[in-house]
Structure 1
Amino acid sequence: MNELTDYYDGRDLGCNYSRTESIFKLWAPDAVKVTLALYQDAGSYDENGEVTVHTDGFEIGMKKWKDGVWFLRFFGDLAGRYYMYKIEGKDGNIRYAADPYSHAVSANGSRSAIVDMKAWNPPGWEDEKRPPLEGLEDVVLYELHVRDFSADPESGFKYKGKFKAFTETGLRDSEENKIGIDHLQELGVTHVHLLPLFDFKTVNELQVDNPDWTGLKYNWGYDPHHFNVPEGAYATDPQLPGVRILEFKEMVMALHQKGIRVIMDVVYNHTFSVDAGPFEAVVPGYYYRRDADGKLSNGSGVGNELDTERPMVRKYILDSVRYWAEEYHIDGFRFDLMGLIDTDTVAQIAEELHREVAPSLLIYGEPWTGGETTLKKQTLKGSQRSLGFAVFNDHFRGAIKGDSDGSGKGFATGQPEQEAAILEGVKGAVFDFADSPLETINYVTVHDNLNLWDKVLTTQGLRSEAGFQEIRDGKLTHGGDLREAVERSDPYRSVSSDHILQSETVKRAILANGIVLTSQGIPMIQAGDEMLRTKYGDHNSYRSGDIVNAIRWENKRKFKPVFDYYRGLIELRRNHPAFRMTSKEQVEKHLEVLHCQDNTVAFMLKDFANGDTWKNIIVIYNANSHDIRMELPFSLSGWKVAVNAEHAGNKAFDFTVDEHVGVKALSMMVLYEEVGGAPRPAKRVEVQYERSDGKYEGWNLWVWATGLREQRVDFERVEYGKAIASFTVPAYVKRIGYIVRLNDWEAKDADQDCFIELGHGQSAITVRICSGSDGSKKIS
């Protein structure tokens, strides 16, 4: 079709209801005639759950208004009625279409519904507020599917698979462990990222709770139909349009009351169908991207992609996310295949939501596509720089775990020489593709591909031992009963109930997410990682139903030490801003690399990083299958241990005054140094360096000694023509080696190693070094 020039900038498309009148506005610029069809009911459903006959309505002609919009004002209270648009095109074809801007629909989205939105607000909704959030750096994400959360038949949920399951508090397992929403609060996550919540196509809402129904009744929801309506399969009564609105808001309200914000996974890159979708019948040929031959572009991999660069498509997306943020109090959006949405659109969404709704809304997405696209300005890694949104960091993901579905390994799963890539991610990708750590979403696994436990088992060659069979589209590829196969499997065969944290698989899984939770950037974990969740080897479980996908809450009891470890790491992160730096400058200033080789990464967050109360924090990742011994910087007060292979938290449970520490195989360690601790015997060394040319810029000391790791010491100031540097060493150190160098070995002041001899019984010493000399002169 020719490019339409009509553009309507109002935010009132759709049905604008009040008790005295309803105003309908539809953007259909090339329609010859548009008629509103009103219905008393949802229509007659066929055996597939579809309503295909819409000629039984009361039809009223609409007026061609302005900017391509058709207009109708209907006096009277229409709440409870349904409607469609009857559209006659220039080709003479007549089509019945639901409203693309529908706020409510009948079951399976067959007809648009007219509702009084305020009448379906839960008590207290008008005063409901988002939980406090000082900055996006404080976010800890938890990716979750609504149905998976409560579908476990042994869990005790009343509202299994529903929005209302999130309102159920006080649920406990047989050993009084918290489950459900209380579990989420106990874990300490700040945001729950929920897989698509809008009305999607492939679940028959009329049959989803019928135990005798054998058709498809599970999906992740990446098959959008009505973008502005909650999914009916998650409501207790999908046939009453207002119920899903009420129960969605009850879910959001319940999470907010627990201090947890809600991220909505949105899929504005494609629709389930073109011809039967929400747009084509209204404005044929406008909403979808096409190639030079007029064929649908298929960068989504499912047959179509929305043309987001077109003004009214961009407007639709912006109107939609703003509607969810304002009407449903959603706290942020994760964009599926964001590479198919042009960067200008994403930037405009972030700018307007932060300006007009709330600056604390989190915007992020997948910076890739699902196939070839004709879009030129794709939103890929790097395109987000300083534009107010973040992207998934698959570089870091791959470095940690390896490939997504196979046996390929990463740092935590046994692949050597990944240290540099790990360190890149630890720094918040600010030397890779981001201007700020707030632009990277760090994660190991999400709903796509093998989940973490199954991935680690695969890299260890334990799939057969675990009894995993190949699953595709919810069925065993070689035939047989999926439920029986799951019940026969033994995913935790290698885990001793008495020594859970000693299992190699457990250690590798914990190390993987431990890296994520102690790195700069915004961390995300997948629901159930903290309980060693398995999907029985299914790498694409979007159709595999509850038997594969349901979170088995008994795992919390079985693997409580794993949950406690995750909770401890999250508590550590949330209490220490050193792990939550917001700029590249902060990272450069406060993150010092201590070790980056031999399957080990160690770094120090130093000098009260980002206003932390701890002076220095050391983080060590040991991906070796053997214990290691790591040198530590000298500390006057010693190093307190907050995390090791068995414990994680915000408080010290061990202490060391040594200049070395043992780190267990396949584990991590976090140590910290506080101000005000009991001082250890030490010597203070001051060096006065004098150059005849008086030029000191770039010159520094490289020092070493027994009990003192090799390190750079910068000159602090220049006084009376001399550069001054000072440092502290243990009292037992008798001799210090040093070299005066320019920057990182661009030049040396002397050709050979030089030494400072320390006297006995001295707590402080000052030495003078003259440029070009091979030694030092003690002056006090």
Structure 2
Amino acid sequence: GTWEGTAQLGGMRLPPGEKDLVFKFVLNGNEWLSPPEGAPNALPDGKGSVNLKLDIMRSGGAEIRVHTAEPLDLTQAYVLKLDGVADRTLGVMTTPDGVFDQIRSDKAMGVTLDKARGTTTYRIFAPRARNAWLCFFDRPAAVTWKPAFKRFPPVEEYRMWKDSADGVWEITTRGLDIGRFYGFRVDGPAGDGEGFNPDFVVGDPYGRAASSADGLTMVVDPGATNEWFKGWTDQAWETPDPQDMVIYECHVRGMTVHPSSGAPAAKRGKFAGLMATRKKGTGLDHLKKLGVNTVELLPVSEFSEGADPYNWGYATVYYFAPESTYAREPEKGSGYYELKQLVDDLHNEGFAVVLDMVYNHVGGPNIFGLIDRKAYFRLNPDLSYSNHSACGNDVKTESPMMRKLILDTIRYYMEEFHVDGFRLDLAELIDMETMLAIRDAAREINPKAILISEPWSPGRGENKYQLRGTGWSAWNNDFRYAAKDFVRGEGSREWLQDSLFGSVNTWALNPLQPVNYLESHDDMAYIDEITLNPNRDGRKLTDRDAAMNRLAATILFTSLGKAMLYEGQEFLRSKWGILNTYNRGDALNAVRWSDRDRPLAQQALDYYAGLIQLRMSPEGTSFRVAQRPPQSYYRWILPPNDKLMGYVVNVPQLHAGHGFAVLLNADDRDRRIEVELGGDTGWKMIGNGREINRKGLAPRGWPAGKAPPTWLAGWKGEIVVPKLESILLMNGF
């Protein structure tokens, strides 16, 4: 009967005007519990109420503080021995956790090329290391595992110099080392919770290129143009206004690796693949016809490799290095230039580019653990990795030098790659100070930088309420579940009302914060979520499944907030009923563009495109709202049957755009919905649940050849909505 939860104090923000974080326990949403009598952290508010104060200094546990006469040597491991608390001496391995808050450096990390002097400088942050060496190799990896494990000796090795004031090791070599493979050996204290291993050569955490996640980093020339990057031509590009974004989440490999993409074999699944689909009717052509304007790429920083070449990418190894398997010549560092070319091309084709970044944990090989495990990770009391990410470790984002690395990647991808913004994976695990610093760094470069949080973690829940008013958008899982439940004839209309209205009555300050969606890379494909097929396998399409998908799409694109869809959702792509497909290879994850040829899939695709074009039209400006509207902006229609619902939008006109009436029927029978249209202009049906036409559509059963009807301003009456479908009416006629 015990309920337990964990929250990150660093992720919480004080309410305006408050100096303490206070809380109470609430049962069933409305029963507020008084603090236990004698609670040491009870705090009266002076108004007759007593709350509990979040005070980490009064945790209820014992604490021993030891002050030394002289500073401790960070390159040594210390054991604290305690006598008199047990029948034997206790030994506890100490950790210099708080010390890392005092050690920081503003130096440029990684590689710096000085072309004027003809030198190359290397820097790495390792404050507890005893020694560090720069190693050059004539091959892309320092070891091989086949046919048997073998270490290769470096062709050159140099001991680096340590600045004891900031923990940075550095060395400068003569010449420009462009094209050279390099890494570091780092030696430090041994003992519990340590990961130093001077036999292991680690790549550069700031390396701009890597031949593979298991290999070495490589020096590239950031200013070069070549066969992979012709130079920037996107000077006229401007990031879309936030209310005008329609996001398409997609995977670099998945979009073009299947032969049906039409991309040449050498470019399939590569950074170059998407542009290779021009004039093929797939990939790029598909996105342009669909009408989306923002491409959100699953992680493209160098990530852990497995036996299968397909990988979602949520196990970053080198944050600054574009993924080598997406490059055509990874051992020449081509990926660095090819990602630049992709962004330049996408901008010139009218698409903003958002990168998915994974700062909450890292993948393997864990280079940070080999450089200084205690500096870069949150550790449990027994010095094992904290694992609220459920991915093996939690990065200590609050550490000044880890925060610096994160902010450096933000500036790096915006300045060197021109990207428009970022989506942060499991961002509940990123401390709030770092989240706000990311915002400030990005907006200093581009005031319209796109910033999206995945505001939860497996181990600690969600924090989207803490993001209110911060300038961060967040994936709106409330919308996802509320829409899914309603379409299936379940759930709460009230929950859906709040999500449709931009979540401004719950967690969002304005409609720019929620990113509304039905499907993402995580969890099932939407068609699998709603199908009644065996094993929830949506490959065999049914009229019912297709109708429910179109009904949900109507809800998505008539909501306030940023709209997002995932690759293939618009043509009813199934992932065979599998919950998560990160480890299922191309068989499940590759987009099969021929799936669009199925009649129901083609109908869905046309319907999605019609909805997006409506939303992006001058008339559809009504749904692209930046500021919190008055409650009357959506007038709700709630018949007694809770499987029916409607809303009249922007009537009377309070915002640019036309007035709309949206009627939804999630029942398995045709139903009549009573409507009062209002306004001072005539209305026409522009959507019938199967197609969209802004000039007007005829109701089902309307005489062939007869002009579609017009409803007069202020008309009141009943409209028949077919089962599992929607009706859209628009005024201005």
TM-score, normalization by structure 2: 0.78
Give secondary structure in 1 for the equivalent of 2:596.
helix
3-state DSSP of counterpart to 1:642: strand
Q: In the alignment, which residue of structure 2 is the partner of 1:252? A: 343
Alignment of 1:388 with 2:466, yes or no, is: no
Counterpart secondary structure, 2:232: helix
What residue number does 2:614 align with? 572
Query: In 2, distance between residues paired with 1:156 and 1:199?
Result: 26
1:36 and 2:134 equivalent?
yes
- Aligned partner of 2:438: which letter? I
Flag the 1:386–1:540 CA change in 2: closer, same or farther, 3 A: same
Contact 1:36–1:86, Cα closer than 8 Å, also in 2: yes
Please say if 1:151 is aligned against 2:250.
no
Q: Distance in 2 between matches of 1:348 and 1:165?
A: 34
Distance change (3 Å), C-alpha of 1:41 and 1:134: closer
Residue 132, structure 1, aligned to residue 238, structure 2: yes
In the alignment, what sits opposite 1:688? none
Three-state SS of the structure 1 residue aligned to 2:388 is coil
Q: 1:604 to 1:453 in 2, by over 3 A?
A: same
| Aligned counterpart, 1:618 | 661
Measure, in 1, the Cα distance between the counterparts of 2:709 and 2:380.
Answer: 65
Cα distance between partner residues in 1 of 2:327 and 2:476 = 34
Q: Which amino acid aligns with 2:682?
A: G
Q: Does 1:7 align with 2:7?
A: no
1:135-175: per-residue Cα shift (whole Å, max 9, x none)? 21111111111111012223321121111111114443xxx
Q: Secondary structure at the match of 1:592?
A: strand
1:341 is matched with 430
Correspondence 1:277 to 2:366:
yes
The Cα of 1:55 is off from its aligned counterpart by 3.4
Which whole-Å CA distance do the structure 2 matches of 1:194 and 1:5 have between them?
33
Deviation at 1:283, TM superposition (A): 2.1
Q: Secondary structure at the match of 1:196?
A: coil
Q: How far is the alpha carbon of 1:656 from its aligned partner?
A: 2.9
Aligned to 1:55: 153
3-state SS of 2:428 partner: helix
Q: Kindly provide the CA deviation profile for residues 631-678 of structure 1, in whole angstroms up to 9, marking residues without a partner as x.
A: 23245532122222221244433443253322222112221222xx5x
> Is 1:397 matched up with 2:451?
no
The residue aligned with 2:728 is 670
State the aligned residue count: 605
**Structure 1 position 298 matched with structure 2 position 356:** no
For the pair 1:412 / 2:518, whether they are aligned, the reply is no
Aligned to 1:463: 534
In the alignment, what sits opposite 2:218?
A: 113
Is 1:430 paired with 2:488? Answer: no
Look up the match of 1:314: 403
| Code of the aligned partner of 1:659 | K
| Structure 1 residue aligned with 2:86 | none
Instruction: Give how far 1:261 is off.
Output: 1.1
Contact 2:213/2:318, CA 8 A, preserved across alignment = no
Letter in 2 for 1:39: F
Question: Match of 2:302, SS?
Answer: strand
Deviation at 1:90, TM superposition (A): 4.0
Instruction: Summarize the Cα distance change of 1:386–1:196 in structure 2 as closer, same or farther, 3 Å threshold.
Output: same
Superposition deviation, residue 106 in structure 1: 2.5
Q: CA 1:67–1:44 in 2, change beyond 3 Å: closer, same or farther?
A: closer
C-alpha distance after superposition, 1:422-443 (max 9, x if no partner): 1111100001111111111111
SS in 2 for 1:225: strand
Give the letter aligned to residue 163 of structure 1. Answer: F
2:652–2:679 contact (8 Å) kept in structure 1: no
The yes-or-no answer on 1:637 pairing with 2:681 is: yes
Question: Given the superposition, is the C-alpha separation of residues 596 and 226 from structure 1 closer, same or farther in structure 2, using an over 3 Å criterion?
Answer: farther
d(CA) in 2 for partners of 1:400, 1:22: 55
Q: Please say if residues 389 and 439 of structure 1, whose CA atoms lie closer than 8 Å, have aligned partners that are also in contact.
A: yes
Q: CA offsets, 1:474-495, max 9 Å, x none? A: xxxxxxxxxxxxxxxx82253x
Task: Kindly state the Cα deviation for residue 236 of structure 1 after the two structures are TM-superposed.
Answer: 1.6
User: Counterpart of 1:362?
Assistant: 450
Residue in 1 that maps onto 2:185: 86
Contact conserved, 1:290 with 1:297, CA < 8 A, in 2?
Answer: yes
Q: Distance in 1 between matches of 2:507 and 2:654?
A: 22
Larger mean Cα displacement after TM superposition, 54-63 or 24-33:
54-63
* Structure 1: stretches of 5+ with no match in the other structure: 173-177, 204-214, 373-377, 402-409, 469-489, 495-502, 678-780
Paired with 1:427 and 1:52, the residues of 2 have a C-alpha distance of 60
In the other structure, the counterpart of 2:59 is: none
Q: Aligned AA for 1:521? A: G
C-alpha change, 1:43 and 1:296, in structure 2 (3 Å) is closer
Query: Quick one: distance in 1 between partners of 2:231 and 2:654?
Result: 37
Structure-1 separation of matches of 2:177 and 2:255: 36
- Structure 1 Cα separation of the partners of residues 630 and 119 of structure 2: 58
Q: Residue 333 of structure 1 aligns to a residue in which SS?
A: strand
What's the offset of the Cα at 1:301? Answer: 0.8
C-alpha separation in 2, matches of 1:659 and 1:517:
25
Secondary structure of residue in 1 paired with 2:330: coil
Q: 2:171 aligns with which of 60, 67, 72?
A: 72
Of structures 1 and 2, the one with the larger relative CO (CA 8 A, separation 6+) is 2
Amino acid at match of 1:434: A
Q: Deviation digits for residues 546-578 of structure 1, max 9, x if unmatched?
A: 121111111223232211110110011112221
Measure the CA separation in 2 of the matches of 1:391 and 1:48. 44
Distance 1:505 1:100 in 2: 47
Deviation of 1:535 after TM superposition, in Å, equals 1.0
| Secondary structure in structure 2 of the residue aligned to 1:117 | coil
Residue 253 of structure 1 and its aligned partner are, at CA, apart by 1.9
Kindly state the Cα deviation for residue 120 of structure 1 after the two structures are TM-superposed.
Answer: 4.5
Residue equivalent to 1:325: 414
Residue identity over aligned pairs, in percent, reads: 30
Residue 590 of structure 1: how far off its partner (Å): 2.2
Taking structure 1 as reference, are residues 31 and 334 closer, same or farther at Cα in structure 2, changes over 3 Å only? same
Q: Deviations over 1:13-62 (max 9, x none)?
A: 00012441111121111222222112233246524699962532312222
Residue deviations 1:311-346 (CA, integer Å, cap 9, x gap): 111121111122112111111111111111112211
104 and 412 in structure 1: CA distance in 2 versus 1, 3 angstrom threshold: same
Candidates 531, 555, 579, aligned match of 1:515: 555
Structure 1 398/597 Cα, relative in aligned 2: closer, same or farther at 3 Å?
farther
Deviations 1:590-639 (A, max 9, x none): 2222336521221122247564242x221222212222223232455321
Match of 2:701 in 1: none
Counterpart of 2:524 in structure 1 is 450
- Matched ranges for 1:554-569 at <5 A: 554-558=594-598, 559-569=601-611
Please say if residues 628 and 664 of structure 1, whose CA atoms lie closer than 8 Å, have aligned partners that are also in contact.
Answer: yes
Equivalent residue, structure 1, for 2:539: 491
**Bigger CA radius of gyration:** 1
What code does the residue aligned with 1:32 have? R
Classify 1:287/1:635 alpha carbon distance in 2 versus 1 (closer, same or farther; 3 Å).
closer
Aligned equivalent of 2:311, options 192, 197, 219: 219
Q: Aligned pair 1:529/2:569, yes or no?
A: yes
DSSP-derived class of the 2:375 partner: coil
AA at the equivalent of 1:313: M
User: Quick check: 1:397–1:444 contact (8 Å CA) kept in 2?
Assistant: yes
- Residue 198 (structure 1) aligned with residue 301 (structure 2): yes
Q: Which residue of 2 aligns with 1:656?
A: 710
Asked if the contact 1:44–1:51 (Cα under 8 Å) also holds between the matched residues in 2, the reply is no
The separation in 1 between residues aligned to 2:548 and 2:590, in whole angstroms, is 23
Q: Per-residue CA shift, 1:354-384, capped at 9, x if unaligned?
A: 1x21122111122111225xxxxx8612010
Q: Offset at 1:528?
A: 0.4
Find out whether 1:592 has 2:635 as its counterpart: yes
Does residue 547 in structure 1 map to residue 636 in structure 2?
no
CA distance in 2 between partners of 1:50 and 1:278 (Å): 22
Check the 8 A contact 2:520/2:565 in 1, yes or no. yes
The one-letter code sitting in structure 1 at the alignment partner of 2:296 is H
Q: What secondary structure sits across from 1:268 in the alignment?
A: coil
CA distance in 2, matches of 1:541, 1:312: 34
**Corresponding position of 1:695:** none
Unaligned runs of 5+ residues in structure 2 are 1-94, 191-195, 698-707
The corresponding residue for 1:421 is 495
Residues 450, 538 of structure 1: 8 Å contact kept: yes
Q: Partner of 2:61 in structure 1?
A: none
For 2:168 and 2:313, locate their aligned partners in 1 and report how far apart those are by CA, in whole Å. Answer: 31
